[in-house]
Structure 1
Amino acid sequence: MHALKKQRPLRRVVLAAASTVTGVVLLLSLKPHTPPTVAQASSSAGQSPSRSSQSPTPTSTAGSPKSSTGAKTVTGDTVQTRWGPVQVRITLKNGKITDVTAVAYPSDNPKDQEINSYAIPQLRREALAAQSAQIDSVSGATYTSDGYRQSLQSALDSAGL
């Protein structure tokens, strides 16, 4: 006969109770990802973004020059990703992209901040090098990369490129 069914029914009860308690503790230790808030970023890639609870309004200033040198700034659409909104602003001069700034990206929790601290500068470098939205995704930041690419394409479309 089996060892648990012999003369010790209490052993079976104790094992079942211990298993149940362990399962409940493991379930309660899981924490869902908190929804990120929209962050405003400065044009400098190394600075950390300041937090804002309001979503920036997507604006397009494609028709109005930024300065007399022919430079203009265009802000792409806000793209909702799994971890939060992503929005990109580009500066154009003589039909070339001279600057790309992430206006909004997920930075609500330390994990988002860690991922985007290396992803956003990499995406910026790639966009400037490619002069288009045909850029590679950054490993570990797939959702941000997709949102960045879509917002960048939106800005390029608004600028007529």
Structure 2
Amino acid sequence: MRRITLWAFSTIAALVLLFSYRTSTNTPATPAAAEAPLSEPTAAGGGKAYDGSSVQTQWGPLQVHITVAGGRITEITAPTSPADNPADAGVTAGALPQLREQVLAAQSASIDGVSGATFTSEAYKQSLQAALDAAHL
């Protein structure tokens, strides 16, 4: 009788744990369009500007725009981002300046990203890499 009770309790505990486990429903960002390099010099540093690909995230598209002068990234912006979506504005608006600083310091797409903004960080890196490829950096 003792073994049956222990077995029944173990089975019920395992089922409760199994059904209470929550899986992630988030999907990774995927590229949506090809890069479109711009050839006009910018007023700030006389460098060339390049747009990365538009990358679709769960909360909306993200696209990076870089300015390159002397083989270095001198400026980076995100003219299109999920920050335009009110539901995700807080997370994205907080992440974009941190991502910008990481890119300017690293001068590449090899950045850490921002904790709590994983999908935005991944989309940012993908769009940035497309812009760097267009700039041949």
Fold-level match, TM-score > 0.5? Answer: yes
Shift, 1:58, TM fit = 5.7
Q: What do the CA deviations read for 1:69-112 (whole angstroms, capped 9, x no partner)? A: 651110111011122111000001100000010111113124x1
Task: Please point out which of 124, 133, 137 is paired with 1:157.
Answer: 133
Tell me which of the two structures has the higher relative contact order, counting C-alpha pairs closer than 8 angstroms and 6 or more residues apart.
2
State the alpha-carbon separation in 1 of the partners of residues 133 and 35 from structure 2.
14
Correspondence for 2:41: 65
TM-score, with normalisation over the residues of structure 1? 0.59
Correspondence for 1:137: 113
When Rg is computed on C-alpha atoms for both structures, the one with the higher figure is 1
Structure 2 unaligned spans of 5+ = 1-33
| Structure number having the greater helix percentage | 2
Correspondence for 1:147: 123
SS in 1 for 2:76: strand
State the alpha-carbon separation in 1 of the partners of residues 40 and 80 from structure 2.
22
Shift, 1:59, TM fit = 3.1
TM-score, with normalisation over the residues of structure 2? 0.68
1:105 aligned onto 2:88: no
Runs of 4+ in 1 over 2 A off after TM superposition: 63-67
After superposition, residues 73-112 of structure 1 pair within 5 angstroms as 73-107=49-83, 108-110=85-87, 112=88
Q: What do the CA deviations read for 1:21-63 (whole angstroms, capped 9, x no partner)? A: xxxxxxxxxxxxxxxxxxxxxxxxxxxxxxxxxxxx96311x4
CA contact (8 A) 1:83 1:143 kept: no
CA contact (8 A) 1:70 1:94 kept: no
Task: Please point out which of 99, 105, 110 is paired with 1:123.
Answer: 99
State the alpha-carbon separation in 1 of the partners of residues 129 and 58 from structure 2.
19
Aligned length: 103
State the alpha-carbon separation in 1 of the partners of residues 89 and 62 from structure 2.
13
State the alpha-carbon separation in 2 of the partners of residues 143 and 122 from structure 1.
14
State the alpha-carbon separation in 1 of the partners of residues 92 and 136 from structure 2.
28
State the alpha-carbon separation in 2 of the partners of residues 91 and 130 from structure 1.
15
Amino acid at match of 1:60: P
